[in-house]
Structure 1
Amino acid sequence: MSYRLRRAVLAILIAFVTGGLLVGSASAASAHGFSSVAYVDVTAPQSGQVRTTLQLEYDLLVVSAADAAHDDTLFQQGTEAFENGDSVAQAAALNAHLATVTAYAEPRLTVSSGGTACTPGSVGEIVMTEQQGVPYAMFVVDQACPQTSDGHVVTSTLFADSEGFVTGTKTILTYELDGQSGSAALDSNQSSFSTEQSTGERFWEFFHLGAEHLLTGIDHILFLLALIAGSRRFREVVLAATTFTVAHSVTFILAATGVISVSARIIEPIIALSISIVAAWYLWRLWRRGEAANELDATSGPLGLDRAGWLRLGVVFLFGLVHGLGFASALGIDEPWSWTLLWSLLVFNLGIEFVQVAIIVALFPLLTLLRRRQPRLGLWAAGALAVAVSVTGLIWFVQRVLEV
């Protein structure tokens, strides 16, 4: 590698370390956004009765319910139990203030039948569960519904943006009602679900949820950018993206269906580190090979990839398995395998892949054109992108390990 180009790489590194520090510090805590996922299971034990089983993030429920009712005692007891990690004390704090919790949840999770609101009745005792290593409170609310319609509408405004604690809350609804069963995804844009909705409408809900998750998941986008920067041919970036897809699809489905469970405290730092490693991989090749960094080796193997290309695919596959666990946390569905659930998860995954392909199609041809017409400028552009992504990934890794 020439001395001039080596100095250029160092210049890029210094410039983007400074920028990366600023970006990383501002974004690490919100790589997925300060959001939450609520889980609601809806069934009909008997005619005229609808049973809603809610699972809500514990610390968020404590803060939201206490704030809405100005219940300082719940806030103090609930926060202390959360900080101590005592699930027994957490359940006790909520059950001691069941009226406060009920007053918060009931108007924000409603059921109606034939245009008439169902009447919430008995509320079961609150017990503690866990989703992706996060404590959740689970309780049952039975609702009396008029028998004027075969269709029901479920509406969720739990943990709304206007409360000021989180943004973009999703409610994952599973139901067995009105002779139908399935899943639906509710948010501020689509807060209601009807059992009379078409298959296409339910498909769109999960497709949109998957696409939105990738677009708002900065770390997953940075990983994709690292793949784009380090790919030498369109074939290579397509194979890398496909390998990533296959890998994260496997762990995504296994985690979302409860077959495997890994704490987010482990997964999130590894995701950040994977971003940095994949980006640094290209920087290492640029350092060693200089202007030949974007060339394939003289001898290529299957699918037109050389040894370095196949080794890179292996690394991408391993990190893809980790990213799949991160994708699963967006849904956190923990129930036995079923065709209905699998359909919902696959549609969610299609939304992720649509955005991923769109980013590749939009950016890689531009990078290829730049490399062909201005080779040195192409090296600078890809190197700058790789440095920025690598430094940001490292900062996130340290912050997530230290839980900054």
Structure 2
Amino acid sequence: MHSKWFGYALILALVGVIAPFEVFAHGVDDNTRAFLEHNTGVQFFPFVYIGAKHMITGYDHLLFLVGVIFFLYRSRDVFLYVTMFTLGHSTTLLLGVLSDIQVNAYLIDAIIGLSVVYKGFDNLGGFKRCFNWQPNTQWAVLIFGLFHGFGLATKLQEFDLPEAGLLTNLLAFNLGVELGQFAALGFILIAITAWRKWPSFQHFSTVTNTLLMSAGLVLMGYQLTGYAIN
């Protein structure tokens, strides 16, 4: 009975993530916006804090990570896949801002939503069932990580950040992103590892990954609608 309630709780948490559209945008809050608009020079610790907060509240990034580690049972596999994701998003975060590579935020966020759809579909065995083929999961995580990094970059590119101290501030922001990712990942791993010990894990794994796909589709629809309107 307890295992079933645990499964229901995690499923309801996913549903809660699907519901509020404005959360999906995980835009910059008023206090952070005011700080970034008036920032001058090196502000290491504030940028660490902003990066960590952005990752923890970035439900699209977290949903993708949930999908990535959902069926990973060995610590070294978790480390490998998270490292691939980190290399991807760190590269394009720094490259996007420092090189001023302009990409449409709505389209990038739609691709991030697609990454969530992909991982849920992959976890359900959809590629093997429908196409008798499966993409290389490590390369897929790395490639989608690149798009996640561009998504992070577009949030900073909304502001005219001064050149003075820009590299240091970006490194601080990226460090914060990694710290936020580490904290969120730790919680996710504890929850999933505990759930795996109960029979309901296999029973609810299909439902959970179906909801994961649904969340990704909602994200895509929301962002593509924003692109069409704007």
- TM category (shorter chain) comes to 0.7 to 0.9
Cα RMSD between the aligned structures? Answer: 3.2
- Per the alignment, do residues 361 and 387 of structure 1 end up closer, same or farther by CA in structure 2, a change over 3 Å counting? same
Using the alignment, how far apart are the partners of 1:250 and 1:35 within structure 2?
A: 22
SS at match of 2:35: strand
Is the CA contact 2:89–2:148 (under 8 Å) kept in the aligned structure 1? yes
Match of 1:279 in 2: 120
1:311 paired to 2:136: yes
Which of 69, 80, 83 does residue 242 from structure 1 map onto?
83
Confirm whether residue 217 of structure 1 aligns to residue 58 of structure 2: yes
Which of 209, 214, 225 does residue 386 from structure 1 map onto? Answer: 209
Q: Is the 8 A contact 2:42 2:168 kept in 1?
A: no
- The number of equivalent residue pairs is 211
CA distance in 2, matches of 1:250, 1:320: 9
Map of 2:4 onto structure 1: none
1:171 corresponds to 2:12? no
State whether residues 103 and 154 of structure 2, in contact with CA within 8 Å, keep that contact through their aligned partners in structure 1. no
In 2 relative to 1, CA 268–35 (structure 1 residues): closer, same or farther, beyond 3 Å?
Answer: same
Query: Quick one: structure 1 residues 353 and 255, their matched pair in 2 at CA, closer, same or farther if it must change by over 3 Å?
Result: same
Letter in 2 for 1:283: L
The answer to whether the aligner puts 1:28 opposite 2:21 as a matched pair is yes
CA distance in 2, matches of 1:249, 1:33: 18
Alpha-carbon displacement from aligned partner over 1:330-370 (angstroms, at most 9, x marks no partner): 322667977x3222111111111112112222332442344
CA contact (8 A) 1:229 1:279 kept: no
> Aligned partners of 1:287 and 1:250: how far apart in 2?
31
Higher RCO structure, 1 or 2 (CA under 8 Å, sep 6+): 2
Q: 1:205 maps to which residue?
A: 46
Aligned residue among 337, 342, 352 for 2:177: 352
How has the CA–CA distance of structure 1 residues 23 and 169 changed in structure 2, closer, same or farther, with 3 Å as cutoff? same
2:42 counterpart (163, 176, 183): 183
Please tell me the residue identity of whatever aligns with 2:118: I
Counterpart of 1:169 in structure 2: which amino acid? R
Partner Cα distance (1:221, 1:402) in 2 = 22
Gap runs ≥5 in structure 2: 1-6
1:314/1:334 CA distance change after superposition, 3 Å = farther
- How big is each residue's C-alpha offset from its partner over 1:233-265, in whole Å with a ceiling of 9 and x where there is no partner? 222222111111111111101111234211112
Q: How does 1:1-20 map to 2 (within 5 A)?
A: 20=15
Shift of 1:23: 5.2
CA contact (8 A) 1:248 1:324 kept: yes
Aligned residues of 1:230 and 1:281 also touching (Cα < 8 A): no
Q: Take 1:358 and 1:241, find their aligned partners in 2: how far apart are those partners?
A: 13
Q: 1:229·1:385 contact (CA, 8 Å) conserved in 2?
A: no
CA shift, 1:312, in A, is 0.8
Decide which of 185, 192, 198 is 1:367's aligned counterpart.
192
Q: How do 1:86-101 residues align onto structure 2 when only pairs under 5 Å count? A: none
The TM-score normalised by the length of structure 2 is: 0.77
Conservation of the 8 A alpha-carbon contact between 2:39 and 2:161: no
AA aligned to 1:229 is F
SS at match of 1:183: coil
CA distance in 1, matches of 2:17, 2:52: 23
Give the greater-gyration-radius structure (CA). 1
Task: Specify the alignment match of 1:149 in structure 2.
Answer: none
Q: Letter of the aligned partner of 2:88 in structure 1?
A: A
Percent identity of paired positions between Structure 1 and Structure 2: 30
Counterpart of 2:223, as a letter, is R
* In structure 2, C-alpha distance between the alignment counterparts of 1:365 and 1:30, rounded to whole Å: 24
Note the residue ranges of structure 1 that are not aligned, 5 or more in a row. 1-11, 37-159, 161-166, 176-181, 185-202, 289-307
More helix by share: 2
Q: TM-score, normalised by structure 1?
A: 0.46
